[in-house]
Structure 1
């Protein structure tokens, strides 16, 4: 059965709202535990989101998850959960605070660990 476009939009938007709330809660939890000098929360969020999107794409390729389910979870939930803009802002803030090395390390970790996590998710889901 084909899901209506309007229903897809509602489900993607709702999933995105849940993803944004999950990002906020996890980011707050990590910052309260380890401090906010280095943005570990966003790093954990982006890497875990990369892993999950890898799993979702592998499950969809194996026909264990529908393309509609993938769309709702990847575009909706993970779109709200992961955050390129916060990562970029935090990288700039580290550099502005005089921590150019930490800024480069943080941005590089997000990219490299994100790629590795997505690859691991695909391997796990395959």
Structure 2
């Protein structure tokens, strides 16, 4: 049960951080979604640091749950995707890494388009 509390606490912090970045860049993001790009880059970098810290036994399980799963999971899920692609590539599974990239790109964008297609376009009056 304690593990869920660490994830929940980190998730709350990550979600608040994501919202804060969006609000801070509100005027900048009208032309391009820079806030999303920024959190994806920062989150991917931080997740990479956490994984390296974990591999060097410098990060305990509760810290991983708090920061890696909770905080960064809520801040950006792109960081987890990026890590998975790099890990597959590092293991020599280039085909799986490429497939993961392509499937996420095509299927996730497709899912958004499908969801949007389910709602009729509002008629202007």
Structure-2-length-normalised TM-score: 0.59
Pairing 1:8-19 to 2, within 5 Å after superposition: 8-19=3-14
Pairing 1:1-126 to 2, within 5 Å after superposition: 6-32=1-27, 34-83=28-77
Unpaired stretches in structure 1, ≥5 consecutive residues: 1-5, 94-126
**Aligned counterparts of 1:83 and 1:64: Cα–Cα separation in 2:** 23
Structure 1 ranges of 4+ moved more than 3 A = none
Unpaired stretches in structure 2, ≥5 consecutive residues: 79-107, 114-125
How far 1:83 moved relative to its partner?
A: 4.4
Structure showing the higher helix proportion among its residues: 1
Q: Secondary structure at the match of 2:7?
A: helix
Per-residue CA deviations over 1:40-93 (Å, capped at 9, x if unaligned) read 000000110000000000001001111331122111000110145xxx67xx79
Q: Assess, with a 3 A threshold, how the Cα gap between structure 1 residues 11 and 67 changes in structure 2: closer, same or farther.
A: closer
Of the two structures, which has the highest relative contact order with CA contacts closer than 8 Å and spacing of 6 or more? 1
Q: Secondary structure at the match of 2:37?
A: helix
Number of residues of Structure 1 aligned to a counterpart in Structure 2: 83
Query: What is the Cα-based RMSD across aligned positions, in Å?
Result: 2.2
